[in-house]
Amino acid sequence: MVKVEESPGKGRGVFAARDIEKGEIIERSPVIVIPKEQRGLIRKTVLRRYVFRWGATMRDYAIALGVGSLFNHSYNPKAVYRNNHEEMCMEFEALVDIPEGTEITVNYNRDPNSNKPLPYDVID
């Protein structure tokens, strides 16, 4: 359903390997949970660029396996992600119909409609 390719100016990204319909689950990525007590350690590594907030209070981090940590950010995302605590995974769902070959992006602010600035330059 998806493939990983270079995204101009962004490094690797996730692209549709076939047409994907709105509402379709694109990816279910198992996660490795990093307790809040270890967040400071992660911030000192390259992994800081690949973590999601996790847990009931969102104080833990999680690293999504598979392609889950390779979705790039956009303020006009093609997909939304959600934590599935019961199954210990991140779920990525298409917000719109996504044609084959299109980069699949998410809004790192969690809310697909959020325009909140991120702590780094955004290439949209």
33-52 residue pLDDT tens: 999 999 899 889 998 888 99
pLDDT in tens, 14-26: 999 999 999 999 9
Distances (CA, A) of 122 to 1, 112, 119: 26, 15, 9
Two tokens, residue 39: 């967040």
pLDDT at 49: 86
Third-level CATH fold of 2-106: Beta-clip-like (2.170.270)
Sorted by sequence, the CB contacts under 8 Å of residue 81 that are 6+ apart come out as 52, 68, 71, 90, 91, 92, 93, 106, 110
Domain boundaries, the chain: 2-106
Alpha-carbon span 89 to 85, nearest angstrom: 7
Residue 2 has pLDDT above 90, yes or no: yes
pTM for this entry: 0.91
pLDDT at 43: 86
- Rg over CA atoms, the chain: 14
pLDDT in tens, 108-120: 998 999 999 887 6
